Amino acid sequence: MTTGLVLSGGGARAFMHLGVIQALEESGIKIDHICGTSAGAITGAFYAHGYSPKECLEILSKSELLRSVRIAFGGKGLLRISRMEKLLKNYLPDNQFSALKIGLTVTATDIVAGETVAFDSGEVIQPILASCGLPGLFEPYHYDDRELVDGGVLNNMPVEMLAGKTDFVIGSHCNPFLLDRPLKNSLEVAYRALLLAVHHQNLDRLKSCDLLIEPPAMSRFSIFDFGKAGQIFNAGYEYAVAALREAPDLPERR
């Protein structure tokens, strides 16, 4: 039985995915294919390349990565994400899907055609960058004759991309739709509205996972809490350990 892992977008919350992967490794569950979008695409690519979950955590939480975008005044967005390309090549030097140790699919949104686009061959860094470009904040990323933005705009949990590729699908979702604190300002209201839209899109996709790992504790973290990477990792790990212990049907340990 082959196992697929779907990694949602979620900004800094995506450090949770690395904790989940750590728990899967310790349980002896081998991942055969990963599908990720937005921040889930980054974490998935680093793990597929061969870095351990804790190595990914160390690399991706470095401030150099967060400072690698630069202001793009007068363009279509406030920030230009393409500057990350050179930096990511230091960690993904082959820059090819075929060079990865685990199969990977990355999704992005074609902002002109209004459709989700999946990439699983050719260059890998460019689709990752496209997948992470929040519209309005980042300029659309021009690649493969498309204007691409964040994959989560249309599909933040691209489970269907694993259809026919794996037998068992594990979903790692870092955006639980909970509210355990009051909305303090207009930014939180706007983000809550975005979560509501994303949650509505994902209901059927979440249900289609053979095993869904969605720690409620993620609601306590912001998508901008990069300084809490270790805490987010640990929350994902601890919840996944418990979920795997209680799950009735799991892929055979390998």
Active site residue 208: no
Active site residue 150: yes
Which of 32, 110, 120, 150 is catalytic? The answer is 150
Which of 38, 82, 131, 172 is catalytic? The answer is 38
Give the residue from 64, 68, 125 showing the smallest Cα distance to 100.
125
Query: Which bin fits 62, alpha (ψ -120 to 50), beta or left (φ > 0)?
Result: beta
CA 171/CA 76 separation, integer angstroms: 33
Question: What is the end-to-end Cα distance of the chain in Å, rounded?
Answer: 10
Give me the helices (H) in 91-169, please: 125-131
User: 3-class SS at 166?
Assistant: coil
Q: What sign for the dihedral angle of Cα 208, 213, 216, 219?
A: negative
- Which residues are identified as catalytic? 38, 150
